[in-house]
């Protein structure tokens, strides 16, 4: 997606893309970080955000999941936490329209890039404190994360040890960091854990001139890219099979080989 500042417009765009994926046979659909909207300034984010109980996106996507009989991960929506801070929150809906799980982004994007771009997510966001897994069906359990979390390998190892065999990484990566690191980090997380990685991403130019890298990907447990959106908005789709998880983890059972050690 290329989310704008218009929440209702973004919800309709997401619905169109979700329906298109379902028409191609998808029964688990994931959308990017900031599905509801992207704002350029902290004041605008605070002004336009809604509390979860008031957010129009929550019943909207719950109803859509139930209508289409799919499991639906909304990569994140901006939720008002209090008068001064927000939460960057993922929403996982089951096929009966119930909210199965939420996840608040743990690692906040406070960086200064070499090209001069500066981001300080903690100015307006509160960090989450809980890693979250949620069972999707008899075979698959999702481990939830958002964007900058991708750089913290320990989180994904903990999710995998907690039962996850799909790692979800909805994102809005910047163009410079996306070109340099997006694919290699996603593939590394898959290889390290023997998990599928599903990474829907924002793409294009947003309010205030911010640009995101896109290149949504689905990656298998051996680190192979099964599908990638090379440019623009749209959908990618792939079959996933628990056999591939079991095969990768049997070949290299790294999750079982942790050892205690001292740093000296």
Catalytic residues: 33, 105, 147
Cβ neighbours, 10 Å, residue 6: 14
Q: Please give the angle made by the CA atoms of 152, 11 and 20, to the nearest 5 degrees.
A: 90
144 and 103 Cβ atoms separated by less than 8 Å: yes
d(CA 24, CA 7): 26
CB contact set of 15 (below 8 Å; sequence gap of 6+): 60, 64
- Nearest partner of 38 among 206, 216, 169, 233, judged by Cα: 206
Q: How many CB atoms lie within 10 A of CB 52?
A: 16
Return the SS3 of 169.
coil
Count CA atoms within 13 Å of residue 231 on its CB side.
0
């Amino acid at each position: 997606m290329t989310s704008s500042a218009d929440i209702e417009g973004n919800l309709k765009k997401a619905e169109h893309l979700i329906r298109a994926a379902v028409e191609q046979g998808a029964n688990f659909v994931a959308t990017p970080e900031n599905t509801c909207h992207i704002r350029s300034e902290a004041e605008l984010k605070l002004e336009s955000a809604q509390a979860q109980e008031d957010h129009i996106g929550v019943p909207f996507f719950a109803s859509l999941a139930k209508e289409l009989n799919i499991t639906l991960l909304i990569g994140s929506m901006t939720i008002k936490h209090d008068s001064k801070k927000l939460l960057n929150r993922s929403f996982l809906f089951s096929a009966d329209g119930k909210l199965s799980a939420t996840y608040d982004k743990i690692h906040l994007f406070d960086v200064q890039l070499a090209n001069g771009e500066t981001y300080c997510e903690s100015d307006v966001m509160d960090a989450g404190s809980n890693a979250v897994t949620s069972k999707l069906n008899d075979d698959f359990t999702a481990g939830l994360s958002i964007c900058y979390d991708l750089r913290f390998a320990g989180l994904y190892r903990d999710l995998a040890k907690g039962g996850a065999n799909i790692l979800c990484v909805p994102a809005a990566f910047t163009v410079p960091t996306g070109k340099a690191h997006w694919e290699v980090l996603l593939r590394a997380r898959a290889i390290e854990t023997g998990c599928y990685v599903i990474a829907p991403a924002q793409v294009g130019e947003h309010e205030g001139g911010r640009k995101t890298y896109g290149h949504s990907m689905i990656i298998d447990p051996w680190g192979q890219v099964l599908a990638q959106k090379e440019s623009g908005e749209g959908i990618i789709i792939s079959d996933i099979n628990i056999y591939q998880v079991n095969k990768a983890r049997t070949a290299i059972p790294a999750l079982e080989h942790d050892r205690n050690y001292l740093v000296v």
